[in-house]
């Protein structure tokens, strides 16, 4: 783990950095699987600072950042989708900081913020073997598969 790591709520001033983090991480992870053009199209649609900023104050949701040495190195966003169901929409760590405990810290800070959640749902590209292995370490199980076309 990074000694200077701090997990905190995201703020409006963080949105450009979170957008860059997501874009860089997506290209690192998915260019070989989906092609750089598709990744660019998806990150431009989903990870624009103004889109991310809209999630900051949503009820029954949490937007966290992991910061090390004044740099955002990770991000997690989750929301309740039913009274006892938490949807983990994003948990990303910059490639230069992966496998150093940042993802674990984000997850362990995020989950207690939803004490009534009895079920956690998320979506992972099955070819993203590192992410699949990460969630399996925490005993997440595959309950269904679907196809995402990026649209």
Residue keyed to tokens 């979170």: 18
Q: What is the mean pLDDT of residues 106-121?
A: 93
Residue keyed to tokens 């309740």: 80
Q: Give me the pLDDT at residue 22, please.
A: 96
Mean pLDDT of the chain: 90
Residue keyed to tokens 């860089």: 24
Q: What is the pLDDT of residues 35-55, one digit of tens each?
A: 999 999 999 999 999 999 999
pLDDT tops 50 at residue 151:
no
Q: Give me the pLDDT at residue 64, please.
A: 97
- CA gap 141, 39 in Å, rounded: 26
- From the list 4, 7, 10, 11, the residue with the least C-alpha distance to 103 is 7
- CA gap 91, 56 in Å, rounded: 15
- CA gap 12, 7 in Å, rounded: 16
Listing DSSP states for 66-120 in one string gives EEETTEEEEEEEEEEEETTEEEEEEEEE-GGGTTTTHHHHHHHHHGGG-TT--EE
Higher pLDDT: 66 or 149? It is: 66
Q: What is the mean pLDDT of residues 13-20?
A: 97
Q: How confident is the model at residue 4 (pLDDT cuts 50, 70, 90)?
A: confident
Host H or E run for residue 134: helix 129-137
Q: What is the pLDDT of residues 76-93, one digit of tens each?
A: 999 999 889 999 999 999
Taking the alpha carbons at both ends of the chain, their separation in whole angstroms is: 36
Question: Helix, strand, or coil here: 135?
Answer: helix
What pTM does this model have? 0.89
């Amino acid at each position: 783990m990074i000694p200077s790591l701090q997990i905190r709520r995201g703020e409006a001033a963080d949105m450009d950095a979170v957008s860059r983090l997501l874009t860089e991480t997506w290209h690192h992870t998915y260019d070989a699987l989906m092609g750089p053009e598709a990744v660019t199209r998806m990150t431009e649609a989903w990870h624009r600072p103004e889109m991310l900023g809209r999630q900051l104050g949503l009820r029954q949701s949490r937007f966290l950042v992991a910061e090390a040495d004044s740099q955002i190195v990770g991000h997690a966003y989750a929301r309740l989708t039913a009274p006892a169901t938490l949807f983990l929409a994003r948990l990303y760590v910059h490639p230069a900081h992966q496998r150093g405990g940042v993802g674990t810290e984000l997850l362990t800070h995020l989950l207690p913020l939803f004490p009534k959640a009895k079920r956690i749902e998320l979506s992972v590209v099955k070819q993203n073997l590192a992410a699949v292995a990460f969630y399996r370490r925490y005993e997440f199980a595959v309950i269904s598969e679907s196809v995402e076309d990026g649209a």
